[in-house]
Structures are given as C-alpha cells and as structure tokens.
Amino acid sequence: MGDRKYRQRGYQDSGRDREPREKRPGKKPETFGPKTPRLMGKREVTRCASCAAVLPLGYDLNGTCFRCGFELHSCKQCVYFDTSARYECTQPITERIPRKDAQNSCAFYAARTTVERETSTSKPLDARSAFENLFKK
C-alpha cells in the first residue's frame, strides 16, 4: 500500500488482512409445484336494498328488513330489476308493477346476492403488534 497516493483499501490490497466475511445462509429447499396463492376469502351476501344491512343466512325474504322495515319480496330487492328494461324487469312479465318498493307476488322473484371479500375482523391489542404484523411472512 506504500506505492499509492491514498491510503484507502481497495481491490488491489491483498486479502490477508481483510476481515472474514459472514457466511451466507444456504439455499432454501426447493418445493415442487407452484406456490399456493394467498387469496382473500369470498362470501355471498344478501343486503337490504334500502339500508344495505347484511341479511343473515336463512333470513325470511318474504318478511321485512330487521333494521329499516323495508319489504324484502319487492322489485328493488330482485335480481331481475332493471330500470332500463320493459316494465323495469328483465323477465317477461305481463303488466307493470307500479310500486317497486312494495311487496308483490311476482313468480320470477329471486333475491339479489353479491359476492364480497372476507376481511379480517380481529384487531390487534396494541400499536406495536399491529406494526409487527405488517412485516410477517
């Protein structure tokens, strides 16, 4: 190192006086097949057309909403309700039903269901555990 102008260590220095390198961890064991994706769960939900309350499974759809009292067997709650279609229904009904939010006896009625993502409802007890959960694998 005496023949150079600057005293910084570089690639020309011998490897004798260098510090030993840390050993790198070995390769991860290979797994056969594709990785399983971590997808969020999905569920089918029926909601009230008036207040958007989630109706539990097995709830009587001929009754009323438990939160707002909206009649559930009505055109607004039906899958086939479409304001741009003839008589505001995509099914071949013979006459128009005047009140779309009132209960009716339509033979084509099917409750509207939506597919929603399952989200975790458990909340961490403190901020530190919430922060640590962000970086878990």
Q: What is the mean pLDDT of residues 108-116?
A: 89
Q: In 3-state terms, the chain is what percent helix, strand and coil (to 5)?
A: 10, 15, 75
pLDDT in tens, 53-76: 998 888 888 899 999 989 999 999
Contact between 67 and 51 under an 8 Å Cβ cutoff? The reply is yes
DSSP state of 128: H
pLDDT of amino acid 17 = 54
| pLDDT higher at 56 or 37 | 56
How far is it, in rounded angstroms, from Cα 51 to Cα 69? 9
Answering whether pTM is above 0.85, one says no
pLDDT of amino acid 43 = 83
**Spans of all domains in the chain:** 40-115
Q: What is the mean pLDDT of the chain?
A: 81
How far is it, in rounded angstroms, from Cα 100 to Cα 92? 16
| pLDDT higher at 57 or 1 | 57
